[in-house]
Structure 1
Amino acid sequence: MSDTSGSQTNITDGQQVQLLERVTGAVVTTLPCCVFLFINVTMLFTLRSKPVFCETSRYVLLYNLLFADTVQMALGHLLYLISASRLILTYPVCGFLNFLANLTSEISPLTLVVMSLERYVAVCYPLRHTTIITIRNTGVAIVVIWAFSSLNVLTRILLLLEFPFKDLESLQMKDFCSDVAMVLGPRSNDYDRAFICVLFVSAGVAISFSYFGVIIAARSASTDKASARKACNTLLLHLVQLCLILSTTMFTSLLMALSGILTRLVFVRFYVFLYVCVSLFPRCLSSLIYGFRDQTIRPVLMHHLCCGFLKPAVSNSK
């Protein structure tokens, strides 16, 4: 009798520890997520608060990048909280959330490519920049980016339809909702790997081409040295952003490798740390980089972050 009561006590204590771990992990991750979302939403509002931001191509592209990162951050954290709460979803609901997350996650590297090409044209072809990089052409580029990402999601859905859902007793999932859980066949897995490789290799080549093109142009006597130097720094930041975005795609694979090595307690703590650093923080990096580097955005952004208490400089508010 004492052995039975002792085992029940151990089970109860173990459940309380697991519950405490889940609650602590949710709080520790939700707080920085709310801060990052606040910064991103404020940045999005800033980029729509002045005509200069709506009429300049690089700011329109930046808005597209931030919008995709913000939606991705919110969806990613929603999926994290669902998993932490041990909620089991149906395949259609999980698929909808994951495909929407995949759509926005692919927008970021493609937008970085267009932003890099815009800086390349601005430095290497300054006289033709205003005729090539127009608001209309920028809008067309954004539509192409979203269309390409939507086509990829449609392909994933078609591959998913090959799975025999009719043979299942229920559409209720047996595991927690995640991107890996929606890879239900070898063809889907192969397609995902091939697409990620092609996407990031192509984006890396395009940004590197822009970077070296700007370096070569900077040696020309007719090129503005200060503008070329700033463009080089911006393109390097684009490469860093691309690497961070790539690291988020490897997040699940890294966790699966670590799950067989670390103990449960260490794994949970390491998971929370990686989630904040690898998944959340890179999505806020664009706001921090461009918001504080750009002399036009910075005073307006600080004004909105301080809820209007800090007035922007007169010269930059026009």
Structure 2
Amino acid sequence: MADNSSLVGGESLRRQINLQVIIVQILVMIFLSINLMLITTFFKKECFYKTTRYILFAVTLLSDSFLLFMSNIMLLLSYFRLTMPVWLCIIISVVVILYFTVTPVTLTAMTLERYVAICMPLRHGELCSQSSTVNCILIIHGLSSVPFMVVLSIFFASASHSFYTQYRVCTVEIFILYRWQDHIRAGVYQFYFMLMCITIVLCYVKIMKVAKAASVEKKNSNWKGLRTVILHAFQLLLCLIQLWCPFIESDVLQISLNVFISVKYINYIFFNLAPRCLSPLIYGLRDETFFHVLKSYVCFGLCKRNINKCRFR
């Protein structure tokens, strides 16, 4: 009787996992399709790839798409318990860790661009030129590489040479050999996100002051910029919560495997997929110019509208 009960429980758990994996695959495919459509739209109009705001938007789309694709592959490898050499997993994981950080750093850069556009309009053209944007992208990737350099340095100092030739299921947790390494990793990320949150809050306060003192003509534009900053902050909050998920999951695992699977699934949906699907909503649909170009593209050019200027708000 106990064996039959165990068998039924195992079958139920397997069906639950299968259903969750299928749902995740559907969501990932939808998000990747939307991002691909937005990236294609980005190259449809010259002013998009000559304007700082749109270029940074494209960086977030590419970063999110790549992260979703790679993390989904790692999810499938983990689900099917497929192993690979540790050295190959390290290469894959490093790329995932890098682009996990690129998006929030880019969001912070976009917030600073809104701050310059609203609070320093006379210097916006100078500070947000094409060459400055290219340098900004390089700085974004440079800053984003610091956390994984810290994680890698600690890992290389702790792992034995034989560890690299072992075959393991590939997850980013492969870098964590000791509990204290996990604390250092979390500390580095939380320090980064604290700085980014402070930057966004300061920009919000400055923009709010300018918006209140602005003339009627500029007030609507400034308040739209303020709402964009609020959405940036919400995205960063979701990304920050994702850093705490491994601690929650490890504690839940000690209680119940079923609860652990459910919690991990919910965390992945809300704190991994959700922040990555907000960018198309915030920038692809709220911007009038981008939306109409996207609409024309989706309608195969039948929904044409003459828009001569890029106006990102």
TM norm structure 1:
0.87
Aligned partner of 2:70 among 62, 65, 75: 75
Where do 1:60-71 residues align within 5 Å? 60-71=55-66
User: What is the distance in 2 between the residues matched to 1:115 and 1:169?
Assistant: 39
Show the counterpart of 1:213: 206
Closer, same or farther in 2 for the Cα pair 1:240/1:316, shift >3 Å?
Answer: farther
Q: Which has the higher contact order (CA 8 A, sep 6+)?
A: 1
2:185 is equivalent to residue 196 of structure 1: no
Q: Specify the SS of the correspondent of 1:149.
A: helix
2:306 is equivalent to residue 311 of structure 1: no
User: What is the distance in 1 between the residues matched to 2:204 and 2:7?
Assistant: 59
User: What is the distance in 1 between the residues matched to 2:163 and 2:293?
Assistant: 55
Aligned residues: 309
Q: Which has the larger radius of gyration?
A: 1
Unaligned runs of 5+ in 1: none
User: What amino acid is aligned across from residue 283 of structure 1 in structure 2?
Assistant: R
Are 1:123 and 1:228, in contact at CA under 8 Å, matched by a contact in 2? yes
Where do 1:1-318 residues align within 5 Å? 7=3, 16-166=11-161, 168=163, 171-173=166-168, 176-185=169-178, 188-221=181-214, 224-261=218-255, 263-304=256-297, 306=298, 308=300, 311-315=303-307
Superposition deviation, residue 33 in structure 1: 0.9
User: What is the distance in 2 between the residues matched to 1:166 and 1:50?
Assistant: 52
User: What is the distance in 2 between the residues matched to 1:190 and 1:278?
Assistant: 20
User: What amino acid is aligned across from residue 306 of structure 2 in structure 1?
Assistant: V
Unaligned runs of 5+ in 2: none
User: What amino acid is aligned across from residue 252 of structure 1 in structure 2?
Assistant: P
| Deviations 1:234-279, CA, capped at 9 Å, x for gaps | 1111101111111222232222233234x43344344333322221
| Deviations 1:131-152, CA, capped at 9 Å, x for gaps | 1211110110111111222343
Q: Specify the SS of the correspondent of 1:89.
A: strand
**Structure 1 runs (4+) greater than 6 angstroms displaced:** 9-12
CA RMSD of aligned residues (A): 2.6
Closer, same or farther in 2 for the Cα pair 1:146/1:168, shift >3 Å?
Answer: closer
Are 2:85 and 2:166, in contact at CA under 8 Å, matched by a contact in 1? yes
Judging by fraction of residues, say which structure has more helix: 2
Closer, same or farther in 2 for the Cα pair 1:116/1:303, shift >3 Å?
Answer: same
Of residues 267-276 and 92-101 in structure 1, the stretch that sits farther from structure 2 once superposed is 267-276
